[in-house]
Chains A and B, each alone.
Chain A
């Protein structure tokens, strides 16, 4: 622990100076190519490391994920725990971890399969982990697996555990569709009915209306607004144009394709789907052209909206898993950690008008906690729910007015430089299995830090309910 004021004093740098370090011509920033590492060397870090005396270092040893597939494709006949199982087995395989060397397993998921509501337990048993390892499932919309990881971090920090497997899974090819409440009520009463007469009268009370099924709500419970609708309003509020959104979507797909082709997505494991082929690649990456993107009609706000199917993330099946350990344990077991998991925050705001602004709120907060500035970050991985949502968050981060009016800050923290931002694609192109995305973001930051030679990375994500998350990740000295 260090008093807040002290931490501030470490990070203070005159504003003008900071600007001069980061200035790059606009055109350059837009280009999708990597920048030579030499350039970054000029920057001075506020801090050499985020290690704190008396606080355990927690490391990411490995992270894997199944290929993320459009829902209704190759995974269509599986169940959620099958996907989670595949990710866990992939992790075991990649790390050669003994099956009883884990202290606790935590999974995140959003739409629950009622048969496997504690999907963490079903998946870990099925993946061959020792049945002596407890496991539980957490949920916090699109940042569920982030919660799984931070729960693990908490257990290690508290000294309760040393080795944690965290992960997330989402399976949108099958969702629980229920009978209507009236029908359920009748059926439950039928269970309790004792005589034939009672049963017949209950059956007789069933009407056509009872048979209408209840679909899982795609809308926010508190506001009854769908997320796409809210994203469209958010984009409009920040004046994000359709063109900007389409450009960002195209960028995401282009970068994802480049990364896939260059073999950079090394967290993807191949998975032999029972009864089907082996899948080894994400199948939602489709770089197209601005002309084609422009043809699409708005999907939510008609006819003048700007959010389309192409500039939104799509329904995805997928699972991810990470191995988190205390540094000493990892070293003792002979692992070479990939990164340190450092400060993190969860934020929440108005679920109506600020539903998807989590990154805008979380980023300044986590930077302040870590005592870093925007310039200290070498790698940004933001969850791309909608292109419009990302652009809105970037504009919010870059607005003094927004910082002053809604965040109680004196000045903005500034927007991330695009040449550091989601360089291997993002949720728009790779796909977004709600519960699994968080681990993908963290693993990608670790892999990019290794590849690009940076020191600090930042993960940020929004989630339904008006919540958000941000985490700072530090490269492990190589």
Chain B
């Protein structure tokens, strides 16, 4: 699919660069826990205790059982030590304060009561911190997320480095959970009700200077450059020095913890003091959440509930509501699905093919269209010299402008400076010929999807590139072995299927043929990871994995349209099921012509099973110029500058011509939804059965990150596990009776239906 745009909403929910490490400390025996401390230590510097956290078994600190126990021990000792008047809490790890709670700790629980108890223990510990008679200064460098943030905001004072790695946030919502250690209670008081909702409901990462503005941290410290020690080491030392000064300042009343409120603050507090205003806010936020989540995600609603309980009924009810809701959420299938996606995403950010023999330093991209330029955009700022080649000056300058604009937009978001943009762009060369290709380590072609053109290109390129150079083809449906047929060295040919827009879509589907060498694959994955992609590596075949799953669903969507469901209704049904983008809109985004092309190609390859809607519907649309968003008309009419879109009026009589009579027994709203989804899921399972997929994890990640399969369901395989293969087969059989082999369940699905112990995910 050349263009699955508008799936940005998905990345909101599932894809953030936070770390909630799953490394558990359950393996430690009780006896070990009694012995010397390994995770938390402290040193008394005159009157200040410096408490240092460092999990020796992981790159990040997590609030594991062991970390918590040692912390309580240390805290007790610090309180008991009369020489100590204040304390500084700091991590010895360069890029991480505390990355969050230990997910496995939660997943190890079997009932919501157990999880509630965990939450209450956390609440108790942080309450002691909050009420500590000796002020505690949290010195934050690196990620301070989830439970880490809740710990920090329980402290009396916070100092943070301005490092790019320093981020604060409450990402629990993205795992279908809520901040369960006092976060829902303390945050509204600290940053105000709207700010707290924004943080907790989006789970967004907040950078240090924003955190200072919001009132989340009190003081900022600049990261240091080279000195007499490594910059990272010295920066942490410096942070500690400043935090110690602050701790003494608080003890000596030079720093006041109760700040004088400004006029704005007073007005805001007054307004928020009015019960009616608060009620309006809850209503408003609730409405927004319902609109965005369609009620499919319970966590945001529980967050609102917990905040409300604390503000309206007092802290006791608030903390209780938080702990109980946390327990409930931990047992939901949604949370299970989202946590599964999180683990899957972590797995798909690793290179299971090992380290490539030589790193790719020079990358050439053929074709400066949307895809080609998009690939350049995500490559050029990763320290890889990038050549962008096109055949015309117009095409090339359009592509160069796209790369420039992508970087320029980052300046507006203050992610980079204009200087960084300029120096990044110095690694991009735009050209019309093959000069310099003798230095290329990898060539990615993103030319027109036509096997003859691809063959011509591969021959031209192989004449100029060095022997070690990899040839990657960015195709969405053409089998790689067919393209490789024209190559002199098929072991160096691989498929790299990017999704449009490349800079927004996280997925990269890498396709290997049986001739592709392991080193070629390792190299392609390494490049993809550098580009920041989540990667699935799949076998070769028509449509690979993603396109192949999408095609039957789109065929079904066309049939649904032919049966008289209008595009708006079709969209509502699909988004109502949890897809971030409706099926009709998706077709428009992908391009009706592309959809027609794919439908025809895959129809030929897979036969009648891929039937459903009449391909001629799409073809006629293309003939009439309704190619989707790019042509301004498709299922909808797109007016530049307008966000809302109306159904294309001409489509009605077009559909009238191809009208089918719906069968009432399989045409209820719910049936239509399951007709669409079951074909998608069945095809995914068949890909696993045929060995196209390496495993269900990659299948789930590919479907969610590449095609927008509902994240709350966790992907097609998790969906089968949760929903029940038997129930799905039952539905499909019913549809099969009406529509035939389009709905015949595959063997693997049948096996799972027969044996309820069989599951894709353990």
Contact = CB atoms under 8 A, between A and B. Distances in A.
B212 interface: no
B607 interface: no
A238 B227 contact: yes
Given A221-B419, A223-B417, A236 B238 contact: yes
A304 B221 contact: yes
Interface in B179-234: 219, 221-222, 224-229, 231, 234
A233 B228 contact: no
A304 B242 contact: yes
Contact of A233 (B224, B242, B419): B224
Contact of A352 (B225, B229, B234, B238): B225
A395 interface: yes
Interface string B594-615: 0000000000000000000000
A140 B195 CA distance: 47
B234 A237 contact: yes
A206 B227 CA distance: 49
B408 interface: no
Given A221-B419, A223-B417, A223-B419, A402 B238 contact: no
B226 A354 contact: yes
A353 B228 contact: no
Nearest to A234: B225
Nearest to B159: A304
Contact-residue size bin, chain B (C-beta under 8 Å from the other chain): 10 to 19
A237 B227 contact: yes
A354 B227 CA distance: 9
A21 interface: no
A222 B225 contact: no
A431 to B, nearest CB: 28
Contacts of B219: 303-304
Given A236-B238, A301-B222, A395 B228 contact: yes
A232 B223 CA distance: 11
B104 interface: no
A405 B228 CA distance: 10
B225 A237 contact: yes
A354 B225 contact: yes
A236 B240 CA distance: 12
A401 interface: yes
A239 interface: yes
A406 interface: yes
A350 B221 CA distance: 20
Contacts of B228: 237-239, 395-396, 399, 401-402
Contacts of A233: 222, 224-225
A350 B419 CA distance: 13
B132 interface: no
Nearest to B245: A304
A230 to B, nearest CB: 9
Among A229, A236, A350, A352, the most chain B Cβ lie within 10 Å of the Cβ of A236
A208 interface: no
Contact of B226 (A221, A223, A239, A402): A402
Contacts of A303: 219
A172 interface: no
Given A222-B419, A223-B417, A353-B231, A237 B226 contact: yes
Interface in A268-306: 301, 303-304
A224 interface: yes
B606 to A, nearest CB: 56
Contacts of B242: 304
Nearest to B225: A353
A351 to B, nearest CB: 9
B42 to A, nearest CB: 22
B525 to A, nearest CB: 32
A458 B219 CA distance: 42
Nearest to A300: B222
A222 B245 CA distance: 32
B407 to A, nearest CB: 16
A402 B228 CA distance: 6
Given A223-B417, A224-B417, A304-B245, A406 B226 contact: yes
Interface in A217-271: 221-224, 229, 232-234, 236-239
B227 A239 contact: yes
B158 to A, nearest CB: 14
A392 interface: yes
Contacts of A221: 419
Contacts of B417: 222-224
B419 A237 contact: no
B221 A353 contact: no
A353 B226 contact: yes
Nearest to B254: A303
A350 B245 CA distance: 30
B498 to A, nearest CB: 32
Interface string B160-181: 0000000000000000000000
A234 B235 CA distance: 11
Contacts of B224: 233, 236-237, 353
Nearest to B230: A405
Contacts of A304: 219, 221, 242, 245
Contacts of B222: 229, 232-233, 236, 301
A181 B441 CA distance: 44
A402 B225 CA distance: 12
A227 to B, nearest CB: 14
B275 to A, nearest CB: 39
A304 B161 CA distance: 13
Contacts of A405: 226
A401 B234 CA distance: 14
Interface in A393-422: 395-396, 399, 401-402, 405-406
A463 to B, nearest CB: 17
Counting chain A CB atoms within 10 Å of each CB, the highest count among B219, B221, B224, B417 belongs to B224
A399 B234 CA distance: 15
A204 B10 CA distance: 46
A222 B417 CA distance: 8
Nearest to A392: B227
Nearest to A357: B226
Contacts of A402: 226-228
Contacts of A353: 224-226, 231
Nearest to A221: B419
Interface string A334-375: 000000000000000010111000000000000000000000
B231 A237 contact: yes
B533 to A, nearest CB: 29
Interface in B214-273: 219, 221-222, 224-229, 231, 234, 238, 242, 245
A234 B223 CA distance: 10
A412 to B, nearest CB: 11
A55 to B, nearest CB: 36
Nearest to B419: A222
A350 to B, nearest CB: 7
A352 to B, nearest CB: 7
A402 to B, nearest CB: 6
A181 to B, nearest CB: 14
Contacts of B245: 304
A474 B245 CA distance: 48
A402 B231 CA distance: 12
A470 B329 CA distance: 66
A222 B227 CA distance: 21
Interface string B713-735: 00000000000000000000000
| 10 residue pairs, one from A and one from B, having the closest CB atoms | A353-B225, A237-B227, A237-B224, A222-B419, A238-B227, A304-B242, A236-B238, A233-B222, A399-B228, A236-B224
Interface of B: 219, 221-222, 224-229, 231, 234, 238, 242, 245, 417, 419
Given A221-B419, A396-B227, A402-B226, 18 more contacts: A222-B417, A224-B419, A232-B222, A234-B227, A236-B222, A236-B227, A236-B238, A237-B225, A237-B228, A238-B227, A239-B228, A353-B226, A353-B231, A354-B225, A401-B229, A402-B227, A402-B228, A406-B226
Interface of A: 221-224, 229, 232-234, 236-239, 301, 303-304, 350, 352-354, 392, 395-396, 399, 401-402, 405-406
